[in-house]
Amino acid sequence: MLRPRMIPCLLVHQKGLIKTINFGNPKYVGDPINAVRIFNEKEVDELIVLDIDATIENREPDYTMIKNLASECRMPFCYGGGVKSLDQAKKSLI
Is residue 4 included in any domain, yes or no? no
> Backbone phi, then psi, for 29, in 5-degree steps?
-125, -5
The CA–CA distances, whole Å, from 87 to 24, 58, 76 equal 32, 16, 21
Is residue 85 included in any domain, yes or no? yes
**CATH (domain of 38):** 3.40.50.12600
* Domains contained in the chain, number: 1
Is residue 1 included in any domain, yes or no? no
Q: pLDDT digit string (tens) for 36-85? A: 999 999 999 999 999 999 999 999 999 999 999 999 999 999 999 999 99
The CA–CA distances, whole Å, from 79 to 5, 48, 92 equal 18, 6, 8
Is residue 52 included in any domain, yes or no? yes
Give the integer Cα–Cα distance in Å for 88 and 2.
35
pTM for this prediction: 0.88
For residue 78, give the nearest of 3, 6, 10 by alpha carbon. Answer: 10
Q: Which residue range is the domain that position 30 belongs to?
A: 9-92
Is residue 3 included in any domain, yes or no? no
